[in-house]
Every structure is written in C-alpha cells, then in structure tokens.
Amino acid sequence: MLKINGIRKTFLPNTPNEVRALREVSLHIKEGSFTAVIGTNGSGKSTLLNAVAGTFEPDAGSIHLNNLDITRWPEYRRAHLVGRVFQNPFAGTAPGMTIAENIVISMHRGKSRGLGTAVTRSVRDEIADRVRVLKMGLEDRLDNPIGTLSGGQRQALTLLMATWLRPKLLLLDEHTAALDPKSAAKISELTKDIVDHEKLTALMVTHSMQQAVDLPNRIIMMHRGNIVEDVHGDQKTRVRVPDLMAAFDRIAKRDLFDESVATLLARQYG
C-alpha cells in the first residue's frame, strides 16, 4: 500500500544548524491498517508525514503509494490519493468561505473543476446529510463562513473533507493536539469511526500516548530521524501507555550513553 524505502532528509545541510530529520527511514504500511507515529520533539515524525504528503522532496529514497512512485509528485498531485488533517484546526478549511463551499472543494479533490455551479441544491442536500452525522448542528449553518466555527467543529469538518472521497491514505498530523480536551476526545472518536467504517489506511502522528494506544493497530516510535520501535499485531493489543513511556525513557537513557560512559563501564563492569 504505502512503501517508504530508505528516505533521507537533511534540513539546512552544511550549516551549523544542520538537522538530519530523516535518516534512511523505511516503512511499509498495509492496506486498511491504522498506524500511529510517536516520538520525541524533533524525532522526525512530522517530517515523515510531510514527506508522504509531499511538502518537500526527500534527499534520497522513494515513496510508493498504491503501486505508484509518488516520490517526485508535487504536494497537490498527491492529494488526489491522500487525505490530510492538520494539527492547526484552522489549516484545513478556508475561513472566509461557507461550510458548503469548503466541502464542495473537497468533493472534487483530484478531479477537474469546471464552470458548473459549485453549490447546487442537490449538492447542498448531500452535504447536509453527511454533516448531520457529526451531530454538531452544522447542517443548519451550511452558509455560514467556516471562520465562525470553533476549532473542534472545524477539525471535524476537515476530517470529513479529507475522507469525503475515500482517500488511499489518510494522514493525520497531531490533529487533536491543538484542541481542548473535550473536542480532542470527540475528534478522536470521530477519527476511529470514520477509519473503521470506511476501512481506511491511515497514518497518524500524535503526541498523545493514550491516543496511540487507543486508535491504531500499529505504533511506530521515532527518535532522531530513525524508527526505533515498531509495535504491531498481538504486541500492539497488549501495549499500554506506561509501556510507551518506558520506551521513551529507554531512548532518553540511550542518548545519555556516550563514549565516556562506555569507558566508565568498561572499568567497573565485567
């Protein structure tokens, strides 16, 4: 389904601020699986997601989606196959435009856009039906600018828009991180419902250990541009938040384990 092979990305190469964000990362994701990517700040988890979304081209390696080599595809072209929800609840929708207009745009994701009227009566009814499922009362406010809605409502709509045309891959970039706890829980639940119902293949970056345990069926842990843990199958069903915390702890310890520690241990170990 999604095959990431040995991608590398260095930001600001050959400068003092050089960041090796991804170092030979390979990841294969099966159709219909829901994968969470967790990691410390600057671990490369968002970079990995952006590499798939096409925000930048990797320095090396390839990305195949649906048996197509999308490595050199520009961002907008990948959107034909990929639905995205961003961390910023304001990033996924056009605030000055109405709910209906926003959704109409997503109804034509990856299709040609002609000179036909965008929001016709029948389209409007279709939108109202789908929006009603969110149980946010938004179906009565289809002509209100999206900018007047709350972050949670906007994120719910972004999620709906990202999955309106069934994407080959759904990318969720910490999509509940900027919301209040109640909205975050609601969006979490909505994500699970949609992914389960539509049997979507999804890749989610998250800060929330609980979310990583609850939603997906596979957890990837990243650190310093590498995948350091890959928990899936039976192992994933057993994993709990403290296990993930312990894994982070191990990573932190390993970081402090430098050559001087090795020398120290060599003298007192045996």
Binding site for other proteins (CB under 8 A): 53, 74-77, 79-80, 83-84, 86, 90-97, 101-102, 104-106, 108-111, 113-119, 161-162, 243, 246, 250, 252-257, 259-270
Q: Cβ 29 to other proteins, closest distance in Å?
A: 19
Q: Which is nearer to other proteins, 79 or 204 (CB)?
A: 79
Q: Which is nearer to other proteins, 75 or 185 (CB)?
A: 75
The string of DSSP letters for 172-226 reads EESTTTTS-HHHHHHHHHHHHHHHHHHT--EEEE-S-HHHHHHS-SEEEEEETTE
Tokens of 102: 């926003």
Side-chain-side CA neighbours of residue 4 (13 Å): 23
As a whole number of angstroms, the distance between CA 254 and CA 261 comes to 11
How far is the CA of 112 from the CAs of 58, 83, 164, 178, in angstroms? Answer: 28, 17, 16, 33
Q: Cβ 131 to other proteins, closest distance in Å?
A: 17
How far is the CA of 210 from the CAs of 6, 137, 197, 234, 243, in angstroms? Answer: 29, 29, 21, 18, 11
Q: Cβ 58 to other proteins, closest distance in Å?
A: 18
Q: Which is nearer to other proteins, 185 or 240 (CB)?
A: 240
Q: Cβ 159 to other proteins, closest distance in Å?
A: 12
Q: Which is nearer to other proteins, 34 or 73 (CB)?
A: 73
Q: Which is nearer to other proteins, 118 or 185 (CB)?
A: 118
Q: Cβ 17 to other proteins, closest distance in Å?
A: 21
